[in-house]
Structure formats: C-alpha cells, structure tokens
Chains A and B, each alone.
Chain A
Amino acid sequence: MTMLSQPVAGDEPRNPLFDLAFQAFRNPSVLIGGTIVAAIIIMALAAPLLGTVDPVRIDPGMRLKPPSDLAWMGTDLFGRDVYSRIVYGARSSLLVGLSVAAVAISLGVLVGLVAGYFRAMDIIVMRVMDGLMAIPTFLLAIALVSLTRASIGTVIVALTIPEIPRVVRLVRSVVLTVREESYVEAAISVGTPAPLILVRHILPSTIAPLLVLGTYICAQAILIEAGLSFLGTGLPPEIPSWGNMISEGRTFFQVTPRLVFLPSLFLALTVLGINLLGDGLRDTLDPRIAKRM
C-alpha cells in the first residue's frame, strides 16, 4: 500500500479512483470473490447460450433421472432438466440480490441523509429504525411476503424493508462525522442550501462504506430469498430459483440428495463470492468502514 501511494518520479498524478480500483484488485479476496461473482453474472446473462433447455418444461417420462448424456445433472421430480434450472436460477437470485441492495441503499441514503443532517428528524427516524431492527429480519420478510400474492416484486419489497435501517444507520453515522468537517462548515457559512451540501459535500463520503454494505445486503437478500422459497413462502414455484429447487428436492432428499445439493452448491458459492468481494473491498477502501458496521 505504501508503495502505491508514493509518487513515482515522472509519473502523472493519477485519478485517485483509479488508484483505489487498482489497489482493490490486488487484494486476494476481491480477486477471488470478484471472479466468482463475475462468473455467476455471465452464467445468468448467457443462460440461453449455455446448452440449456427450457427450465420449466415438464417431461413426465424423464422423472428423477440420474445424470446422463441427455441431462448431465439429471432431472427433477417433474422431469425438468436440473442443469438448465440451476443456470436460470442464477437469474432469480441475482435479480433479487441486486434489486434489494439497490432499493434499500437508495431509500436508506435518502432517510439517512435527512436524519443525520436535520437534528429534529433524527430522534423520530432513529426510534422507528430501532424498532424495525428489533424485528428479526427473516420473520419480517416472511410476514410481508405472506400478505400478498408471491411474486418477484413482492419478495424484493419484503426483503428490502428490513435492510433499510442498516443503511440509514450507516449513512447517518457518516453524516454526523462529516458535517463537523471544516469544508462542510465552510459551505454552510457561504450560504449553500442544505440539499446541495448533502449531495455535493456529504454524499461522496458515504459511497465507499455503502459499496461494502451493498455487497452484504445483496448476499443477505439472496440467502433470505432462498430461505423463503425453501419454506414455500418465497418466489412462486413456477420460477426456477435455487431456493425453490431445494424446497422441491427435499421431499426426495433420502433418495436423490443431488436435487438438494446441486442448487445448494451454487447458492453457497454465489453468496461466498459476494461476501469475499465485500470483505476485500472493506479492507482496501477504508479500514475505518469496519467500525461502522
């Protein structure tokens, strides 16, 4: 790290963001995690090109077939191709994980900036957040899903709500520190309007910790979605998702454990990749981030 930050003679001053990215990719966690995540994303995007068949096509003549040339990961209870379902399942998991992270962060930033900057709002907002955080995430999510007909949208909303307080707390803690900095005081003293101060002078400081928190939320959301689907209260059964596959597979677990283990493997690998990426980013971007989470 010291080597990188020392200016080399004759070197043009480089973009600090570029430096940071360069540093991040030298971290083994970022490298391994990033590679896993990139592979899963490519798999999800290129699903139709990867030798898959229709993941929802039911073939009663092919029920519970072991791996063969026709279906190299075998078929499930309804004769559907396990390999194709796993590849398409990556789409559901990533869609849920990324959407939850994006929505929770957007809403959390908005609330957090306001709560941190305007003292009057702070007490009320933080009490509400404390209350929300006291409800176990998983229970709040299943209760929310159970209220409506299950769809990918309702699952995303249900997983987002319990994650918002974490974002709010993080953003608020950054705002509380940064607003005492002299450059913010300077901006206030020249009469910069509050929204502009928030966006131009305070928001940038939240980006690095939010990037890290975002990876954790994404991983958490993927795990909870799988858990919900496993309990039969998550994504509708017709959507190929790893949680749904595990849930359907558990009936025949003693006979064909691979129906549980194969999707589980991809699920765990994806979450592992995202967590590694998050840990690595946390360590390279800013060591102080760990204290806030």
Chain B
Amino acid sequence: MLAFIAKRSLAVIPVMAVVSIVVFLLLRLSPGDPALVIAGENADAASVERIRMALGLDQPLVSQFLIWIRNMLGGDLGTSIFSKLPVTELIAQRIEPTASLALATMLFAILVAVPLGTVAGATAGSWLDRTLMAVSVIGFSVPAFVLGYCMIYVFSLRLGWAPVQGFTSISEGILPFLRSIALPTVTLGLAYLVLIARITRASVLEMMGEDFIRTARAKGVSERLVITRHALRNAAIPILTVIGIGVALLISGVVVIETVFNIPGIGRLVVDAILKRDYPVIQGVILIFSAVYVLVNLAIDIGYALLDPRVRY
C-alpha cells in the first residue's frame, strides 16, 4: 500500500514538470518580443529594456527556466507587471470567492448527480432515465455563460430572488453569502452534474447485470439495499474518477462564471491579466490551477486504493 502511494505520488513529478515547461514556454515562445508586447506599442526603448531585465529575458533560455523553477519551488511565482504585487499575494487575496464557489459547486453536483444517476441506472429505460439522458445532452450543449445569463434573467431580474451580480464574503453572514453564490453554483454545476450523473448511470447499470446483484436479490435483500450497498458501492471507482477529471471542467468554468456574475476571484484575476498581458499572473494562475487538478486526482487515486482492497497497481 505504501509502495503504491509513493509510486503514485512520484508520478506527479513528471506531469508537473511538463506543465511548468509548457507554462514557461508560453511566454518565451510567443512570436515577437514579449517585452515589447508587455510594454505596449507606444513604449520607448528604455522601458522595453527595463521590462526585459525585470523578466530576465536577456539571459539564455535554459538559465531563465532554471531561475524560474528555483523561484517557483521557493514559493515565488513572480510579480505582477501592473500592480507590482507578488503573484502569490494576488492569488491569496482572491482565493475565498473561487474556493467557496468551487467547493459549493462540487458539493451541489455530487449530491444531486449521484442519487439521480443511480436511480436512472437502476431503472434504465424508464421515463426518468430517458428524461435524464435527454436533459444531460442539453446540459453539455448550453455554454455556462449562456446558462448564467438565463439564470440572472429569471431569478434576479424577473423574480428578484438573488442579487444580480457580485460576491458576499462568508464573514458578512452565512445567508447573504449563500444568496450570492447560489446562482453561480447552479450554473457552474450543471455541466459537472451531467458528467457525474451519466457516469454514475452507466456504472450502476453495468453493475446491475452482475452475478453478485442476482445473489443479493436471491437471498432477499431489499431492492434499495441492493442498489445502494451492492451496485453503487461497486460502481464507485468510475464515479470518483470522473469527479476528479471533472475538476478541469470546474476550473475552466470558474474563469467564465466569475466574469458573468462579477465575482472577484482567481478566474477574474486571470482574465484581467490576459486582457492586460500580465504574463507572471497568467503563468502563476495556470500553474496553481493545474497543480490543484493534479493533486485532486492524486488524492482520488490514493483514496480508492485505501477504500477498495481490489485496487492494486
């Protein structure tokens, strides 16, 4: 078991190495002079030179990379070109709205999708199953920002149930906080929910045909227990896997949804940085988001090795 955990954890290193090389090269391989791009078209030669020095662009590529990696490992993601604040500080300032939104969305999606998918899988072919499958295709096809505007239109502008935009910190009271993240959570959660529900349905459906289900039924276990204790439990691995993979969806969604609902989080930070070409911020956020994705999936892999004695790699 320990050997597996060690091996799986070590596998993170090459992945993160590739991520950091890609993120590093993003800036360095862009056509044209990045210093010039950052300085803008009307900048004079001195300020272009200053930016070039500040970014270490006057040094060879490999040593630039090594410096960057060394700083990064030491927890220094660089400094924003515009606000002059360290990238780590900028991210820390913005983490609350993004983390609240992401956690609320995961909770919402899993709590709705797993029961829904289980029932659909156990009653495959029923009207509920068919409706769910039909709705799920639509869920994949409506872009999150479109859904967000529909939500705002109906629930904020027409019904007045939720604030149109903005974020209220949890420190200002739990109710205003929940009101402010309710619409973004549902909006962001839909695609994620659909993804989890479809996999849950497929894996429960597959389990329902297994011998141990027939055995359980034959010995008189109630249908509810057959489904929850036997089918769902054995279907857990693909469901957990897709929850991990779906985190990528969540991260991409956060970037757009924070703009739609005007939430001052990390997604908003990176969009603003991209519009202003603030490269250190862009690099820092991509790196952090990718690390979160890789670590969540590591935790899930280790999680099911711990929970499921059949899993041995």
Chain A contacts to B: CB under 8 angstroms: 127-128, 130-132, 134-140, 142-144, 146-148, 219, 223, 226-227, 230-233, 246, 250, 253-254, 257, 260-261, 264, 267-269, 271-272, 275-276, 279, 290
- Cβ-neighbour of A135 out of B141, B164, B290 (below 8 A): B290
A272 touches B252 (CB 8 A): no
Residue of B nearest to A224 (CB): B252
How many contacts A-B (CB < 8 Å)? 138
Please tell me if the beta carbons of B256 and A231 are within 8 angstroms of each other in the complex. yes
Q: Which residues of B contact A136 (CB under 8 A)?
A: 248, 251-252, 286, 289-290, 293
Please state if A264 and B149 are interface contacts (CB–CB under 8 Å).
Answer: yes
A-B contact pairs, 18 of them (CB 8 A): A130-B14, A131-B17, A131-B19, A134-B15, A135-B286, A138-B255, A139-B270, A146-B274, A227-B143, A230-B143, A230-B145, A246-B146, A253-B153, A254-B157, A257-B149, A264-B146, A275-B141, A279-B137
Which residues on A sit within 8 Å (CB–CB) of B142? 264, 268, 271-272
Q: In the docked arrangement, what's the CA distance between A253 and B21, Å?
A: 41
Q: Contact: A272 with B271, CB < 8 Å?
A: no
Contact segment of B23-31, B53-61, B181-189: B23-31
Q: Is the CB of A272 within 8 A of B138?
A: yes
Q: Which residue of A lies closest to B293 (CB)?
A: A134
Residue of B nearest to A254 (CB): B157
Contacts of A135 in B (CB 8 A): 19, 22-23, 286, 289-290
Residue of A nearest to B133 (CB): A279
Known contacts: A135-B22, A136-B252. The answer to whether A142 contacts B274 by CB under 8 A is yes
Q: What is the bound-complex CA distance between A134 and B295, given in angstroms?
A: 10
Assuming the A-B contacts A136-B251, A136-B293, are A275 and B18 also in contact, with contact meaning beta carbons closer than 8 angstroms in the complex?
Answer: no
Residues in A neighbouring B282, C-beta threshold 8 A: 143, 146
B residues sitting closer than 8 Å to A (CB atoms) are 14-19, 21-23, 26-27, 30-32, 37, 137-138, 140-146, 149-150, 152-153, 157, 164, 202, 248, 251-252, 255-256, 259, 270-271, 274-275, 277, 282, 285-286, 289-290, 293-294
Say whether, besides A148-B31, A257-B153, A275-B137, A227 and B145 are in contact (CB < 8 Å).
Answer: yes
| The one of A223, A231, A276 that contacts B137, using a Cβ cutoff of 8 Å | A276
B31 proximity list for chain A (CB < 8 A): 147-148
Q: A143 CA to B251 CA in the complex, in Å?
A: 14
- The reply to whether A143 and B286 contact each other, CB–CB distance below 8 Å, is yes
4 cross-chain pairs, A with B, having the tightest CB-CB distances, nearest first: A131-B18, A138-B252, A147-B30, A272-B141
What distance in Å separates the Cβ of B235 from its nearest Cβ neighbour in chain A? 15
Contact between B252 and A139 (Cβ–Cβ < 8 Å)? yes
Name A223's closest neighbour in chain B (CB-CB).
Answer: B143
- The answer for the CA separation of A230 and B258 in the assembled complex, in Å, is 12
Task: Collect the chain A residues with CB atoms within 8 Å of residue B22's CB.
Answer: 131-132, 135, 140
